[in-house]
Chains A and B, each alone.
Chain A
Amino acid sequence: MTNQTIQRVEGALRNPLVLVGVGAVLTVPAALVLVLAFPLYRGLLSDPFWFPLLVMAAVLFLILNATAVCILAERKIAGFTQDRYGPNRVGFWGLLQPVADGLKFLLKEDIIPRRVDKPLFLLAPCLALIVSLVGFAVIPWAGEVHWPWMEAGTTVSTQVARLDIGILYVIAVGSLGVYGLVLAGYASNNKYSFYGGLRATAQMISYELPLGLALLCVLLTTGTLRLEEIVNQQAHSGVWYVFVHPLAFLLIVICLFAETNRAPFDLPEAEQELVGGYHTEYSAMKFALFFLAEYAHMITGSAVAIALFLGGWAPLPFTSWLADNTAWWAMLLKFGVYLLKVALFIGVMMWVRWTIPRFRFDQLMRLAWRSLVPLGLLLMAAVAVLTLFGGQRVWWAGLGVNVLVLLGVLWWAARSKQPMTGRQEDLPPVEFGAM
């Protein structure tokens, strides 16, 4: 193609009408095929084996595209907070930027440095992406659905796997996430990557503890590990668990930032200190996999947090509207509500990223071990006592316990002499050693 053709195409794509037209040309035939083939796959939709697989395919498709949109959103939000416009060149309002980014990643030179540990170097990004994607399996996207052509009273659930261990599965998979980063850091044979990998290990292990403690608070109230039941409880009672356990929610959100390695906890990749951290040596598609993994991890994490605290697919708090409705349109509505919540949650994560500066490593550790873990322990003990007296059924009792714990922490913070930043503390000199 000549320069002029390229310019003309670019110009045309900046026109929103042309963009909509191209989108229609791409999507309308697909939609037509889907509609026309409906009798063919109608049976699959009501089959309890095939429907979860279809859900899986649909959600995977959605997530992988959503990561691209997330990258655009991140850059836009970064621009807006810094009084810039963000990407606005490719397509109308920069909407085609993800396409350009993807093409760039695909077409760039894929470099494997000479002294790397090649099998591990190749394994690491795949591992990171796989681990962040398999967490989707237990998320209850839209509750139960009853298709009109099914027998009365039967439903299928819009969930890939209904596991008895639900949330534990998410934790187990999440705890594997650290390997991708560690291996990337180790295999790169680069000291900055290595530091990044080590930081990732220490950080993720440390923040799994308060995460688990905060989860326990909710689990004591719900009495089940199944995410679909937790969402059902919230949808029916109308009391989302964020109103019962605001402190636990806060803990989970903080830990989520740390587990996804997002600012202000992006120590493993801290550009200013470690060049690129664990992905310093990665380029092209392998780097893109890390990128995808980070955003997929964000989406999984926020989806789990929403299922636990923000009512999952329940559209409004303090009502049980739609909770028992299994019609297909209600299912679509619930799914839309869930996606909207995830989008808002991710928006907040990005907003935080572009607001709060990064922690120093000792501050990070101090925050986890000296603030979050004691707070989590205290909270869990308080909720356990409450549960012992049957208070977990009364939602304001849980809220009261949270407020009491918060007041206690405030009182402690007011009278304690030690500064919490650690900036004023002298670290004693230590013996020098390789370990």
Chain B
Amino acid sequence: MLGAYVLLGAVLFVLGLVGFVVRRNLIIMFLCTEMMFQGIIINLVAFGRYPLAGAPSFDGQVFALFLIAVAASEAALALALVVLLFRHRRTLDANALTLLRDE
């Protein structure tokens, strides 16, 4: 049981990671980080529900709640930054943001 959930969480995490690396739209990139959070949330809850030792507890859910709080903060700040970037550069292309690159 635990294995199934953990594997699903891992797949979601890796898909999010691949998406973050591969996609060039800033908004999609941040969506992909949210997807990584999803994978972790499922993992945390599964670890709390099916612990390797001891009785199941709610600690996993509590951690997941904190994770949601962090994700919300991240989304708020990231979207604010994206809005700001778009307003300045008129594009959401991550490859276009090369101002700090050493070339």
| A interface residues with partner B (beta carbon < 8 Å) | 433-435
Residues from chain A with Cβ under 8 Å of B87 in the complex:
433-435
A262 CA / B86 CA spacing, docked (Å): 34
What distance in Å separates the Cβ of A43 from its nearest Cβ neighbour in chain B?
A: 35
B83 at the interface (CB under 8 A from A): yes
Q: Is the interface of B mostly helix, strand, loop or mixed?
A: helix
A214 CA / B90 CA spacing, docked (Å): 41
A435 CA / B86 CA spacing, docked (Å): 8
A435 CA / B90 CA spacing, docked (Å): 10
Chain B: CB-nearest residue to A433: B87
Chain A: CB-nearest residue to B90: A434
A434 CA / B86 CA spacing, docked (Å): 9
Residues from chain A with Cβ under 8 Å of B86 in the complex:
434-435
Residues from chain B with Cβ under 8 Å of A435 in the complex:
83, 86-87
Residues from chain B with Cβ under 8 Å of A434 in the complex:
86-87, 90
Residues from chain B with Cβ under 8 Å of A433 in the complex:
87
What distance in Å separates the Cβ of B29 from its nearest Cβ neighbour in chain A?
A: 18
Chain B: CB-nearest residue to A431: B87
| Interface range, B side | under 10
What distance in Å separates the Cβ of A307 from its nearest Cβ neighbour in chain B?
A: 27
A254 CA / B67 CA spacing, docked (Å): 32
What distance in Å separates the Cβ of B103 from its nearest Cβ neighbour in chain A?
A: 29
Can you list 7 residue pairs at the A/B interface with Cβ under 8 Å?
A433-B87, A434-B86, A434-B87, A434-B90, A435-B83, A435-B86, A435-B87
| 0 or 1 for each of B82-98: is its CB under 8 Å from A? (1 = yes) | 01001100100000000
A287 CA / B83 CA spacing, docked (Å): 34
A435 CA / B79 CA spacing, docked (Å): 12
| 0 or 1 for each of B63-103: is its CB under 8 Å from A? (1 = yes) | 00000000000000000000100110010000000000000
What distance in Å separates the Cβ of B16 from its nearest Cβ neighbour in chain A?
A: 22
What distance in Å separates the Cβ of A397 from its nearest Cβ neighbour in chain B?
A: 31
Chain A: CB-nearest residue to B82: A435
A42 CA / B87 CA spacing, docked (Å): 66
Chain A: CB-nearest residue to B83: A435
What distance in Å separates the Cβ of A186 from its nearest Cβ neighbour in chain B?
A: 15
Residues from chain A with Cβ under 8 Å of B90 in the complex:
434
A434 CA / B85 CA spacing, docked (Å): 12
For the complex of A and B, 7 pairs with smallest distance between CB atoms? A433-B87, A435-B87, A435-B83, A435-B86, A434-B87, A434-B86, A434-B90
Residues from chain A with Cβ under 8 Å of B83 in the complex:
435
Chain A: CB-nearest residue to B86: A435
Interface residues of B in 46-64 (CB under 8 A from A): none
What distance in Å separates the Cβ of A105 from its nearest Cβ neighbour in chain B?
A: 37
A315 CA / B58 CA spacing, docked (Å): 40
| 0 or 1 for each of B14-36: is its CB under 8 Å from A? (1 = yes) | 00000000000000000000000
A231 CA / B69 CA spacing, docked (Å): 32
What distance in Å separates the Cβ of A225 from its nearest Cβ neighbour in chain B?
A: 15
A185 CA / B90 CA spacing, docked (Å): 23
What distance in Å separates the Cβ of A164 from its nearest Cβ neighbour in chain B?
A: 13
A59 CA / B1 CA spacing, docked (Å): 38
What distance in Å separates the Cβ of A346 from its nearest Cβ neighbour in chain B?
A: 35
A435 CA / B88 CA spacing, docked (Å): 11
Chain A: CB-nearest residue to B84: A435
A290 CA / B29 CA spacing, docked (Å): 33
What distance in Å separates the Cβ of A432 from its nearest Cβ neighbour in chain B?
A: 11
A433 CA / B86 CA spacing, docked (Å): 10
What distance in Å separates the Cβ of B84 from its nearest Cβ neighbour in chain A?
A: 9
A434 CA / B90 CA spacing, docked (Å): 9
A30 CA / B69 CA spacing, docked (Å): 54
What distance in Å separates the Cβ of A168 from its nearest Cβ neighbour in chain B?
A: 13
What distance in Å separates the Cβ of A179 from its nearest Cβ neighbour in chain B?
A: 16
A434 CA / B83 CA spacing, docked (Å): 10
What distance in Å separates the Cβ of B92 from its nearest Cβ neighbour in chain A?
A: 12
A434 CA / B87 CA spacing, docked (Å): 7
A433 CA / B89 CA spacing, docked (Å): 12
What distance in Å separates the Cβ of B93 from its nearest Cβ neighbour in chain A?
A: 16
Chain A: CB-nearest residue to B88: A433
A433 CA / B87 CA spacing, docked (Å): 7
A113 CA / B62 CA spacing, docked (Å): 48
What distance in Å separates the Cβ of B75 from its nearest Cβ neighbour in chain A?
A: 13
What distance in Å separates the Cβ of B80 from its nearest Cβ neighbour in chain A?
A: 11
What distance in Å separates the Cβ of B31 from its nearest Cβ neighbour in chain A?
A: 16
A153 CA / B25 CA spacing, docked (Å): 62
What distance in Å separates the Cβ of B25 from its nearest Cβ neighbour in chain A?
A: 16
What distance in Å separates the Cβ of A156 from its nearest Cβ neighbour in chain B?
A: 30
What distance in Å separates the Cβ of B45 from its nearest Cβ neighbour in chain A?
A: 15
